[in-house]
């Protein structure tokens, strides 16, 4: 695999400039670098992450922490859209995360400006059109027909219900997602790629997890630690959800293989004799 020859260890992941130079080099290495497209993806990731932080009630956030998380999202989506997202290519610096509330570092002006713009827009909308509900439209990433169905399924739950379950039901042969309710009230989802596709970009944030089989996840706010709400303190649950999803997939494959073998045996006139208990 191309990524196997690419060394991530020599980079200081806490240095924004060094990290982004390395990201560009890696994207070029994989053949998915396009400066204009990456910029559009980054703009969408900034919008999505700002909206997420706002939902969590954050009025300020550390500049370095904010940019680190945005880079994580950019990495995830560039590789996903470029169809080179694999276990070997996932974000390589999960163990090194900037401090969220380091008072020695300035707050994120990007998030501050976003809050200011959206607060003003919300106030004007409420004054001018009090009878119409506010709408928040996140720009969509390029989608295939299958992933579009998954995204429509998740959006249809705006009035209530489980986004993950509806997204899974949108497919002809859905596999139920793995859902874990964490101790603090946060929820971690793990869904197979065929069930959610680009819906991960639209409605989810990646939960850290290195184990094979973890596809996508989302951290929903609970009553516990705010770190967990952002998918940092609950990374272990994200990994476990991925492992369980992978087991489910393996069980389905094994069951299918079993049925095919039995069919071959019976087509040749044989039969399976159950062992005596």
What digits encode the pLDDT tens for the residues 151-164?
A: 333 333 333 444 44
Domain endpoint, select from 120, 139, 158: 139
Q: In this structure, are 15 and 82 located in the same domain?
A: yes
Residues 127 and 27 in one domain: yes
For residue 38, pLDDT over 90 is answered with yes
Same domain for 110 and 206, yes or no, is no
pLDDT in the model for residue 185: 61
Q: How many domains does the chain have?
A: 2
pLDDT at 230 over 60: no
Determine, yes or no, domain membership for 202. yes
**Residue 233 to residue 212: CA distance in whole angstroms:** 20
**pLDDT of amino acid 96:** 86
| Cα–Cα distance measured from residue 74 to residue 133, given in angstroms and rounded to the nearest whole number | 31
Q: Are residue 19 and residue 52 in the same domain, yes or no?
A: yes
Higher pLDDT pick, 196 / 69: 69
Look over the chain and give the mean of its residue pLDDT values, rounded to a whole number.
69
Q: What is the pLDDT of residues 54-100, one digit of tens each?
A: 988 899 999 999 999 999 999 999 999 999 988 888 899 988 888 88
- 98 and 163 assigned to the same domain: no
As a whole number, mean pLDDT of residues 175-192 equals: 66
Among residues 86, 104, 139, the one where a domain terminates is 139
Same structural domain for residues 240 and 127? no
Residue with tokens 């991925």: 242
- What single DSSP character describes residue 197? T
Percent of the chain with pLDDT over 70: 54
**pLDDT at 120 exceeding the cut of 70:** no
What residues make up the domain containing 13?
1-139
Beta carbons of 139 and 201 less than 8 angstroms apart: no
Q: Would you give the DSSP letter of residue 211? A: S
**What is the 8-class DSSP label of residue 1?**
-
**Is 134 in the same domain as 147?**
no
Inside any domain, residue 59: yes
Domain assignment present for residue 110? The answer is: yes
- Residues whose CB is less than 8 angstroms from the CB of residue 153 and which lie 6 or more positions away in sequence, other chains included: 163, 166, 167, 168, 169, 170, 199
pLDDT > 60? residue 272: yes
């Amino acid at each position: 695999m191309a990524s196997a020859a690419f060394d991530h260890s020599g980079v200081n992941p806490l240095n924004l400039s060094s990290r982004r130079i390395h990201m560009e080099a890696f994207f070029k290495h994989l053949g998915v670098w396009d400066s204009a497209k990456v910029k559009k993806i980054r703009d969408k990731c900034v919008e999505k992450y700002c909206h997420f932080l706002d939902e969590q009630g954050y009025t300020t956030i550390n500049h370095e922490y904010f940019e680190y998380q945005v880079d994580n999202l950019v990495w995830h989506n560039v590789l996903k859209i470029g169809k080179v997202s694999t276990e070997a290519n996932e974000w390589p610096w999960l163990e090194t995360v900037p401090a969220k509330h380091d008072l020695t570092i300035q707050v994120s002006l990007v998030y501050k400006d976003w809050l200011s713009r959206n607060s003003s827009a919300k106030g004007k909308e409420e004054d001018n059109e009090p009878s119409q509900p506010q709408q928040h439209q996140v720009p969509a990433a390029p989608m295939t027909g299958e992933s579009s169905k998954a995204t429509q399924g998740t959006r249809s739950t705006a009035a209530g219900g489980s986004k993950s379950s509806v997204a899974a039901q949108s497919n002809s042969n859905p596999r139920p997602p793995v859902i874990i309710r964490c101790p603090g009230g946060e929820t971690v989802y793990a869904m197979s790629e065929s069930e959610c596709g680009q819906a991960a970009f639209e409605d989810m944030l990646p939960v850290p997890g290195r184990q094979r089989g973890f596809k996508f996840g989302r951290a929903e706010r609970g009553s516990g630690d705010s770190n967990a709400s952002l998918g940092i303190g609950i990374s272990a649950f994200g990994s476990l959800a991925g492992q369980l999803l992978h087991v489910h997939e393996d069980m389905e494959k094994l069951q299918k293989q079993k049925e095919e073998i039995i069919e071959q045996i019976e087509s040749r006139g044989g039969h399976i004799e159950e062992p005596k208990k």
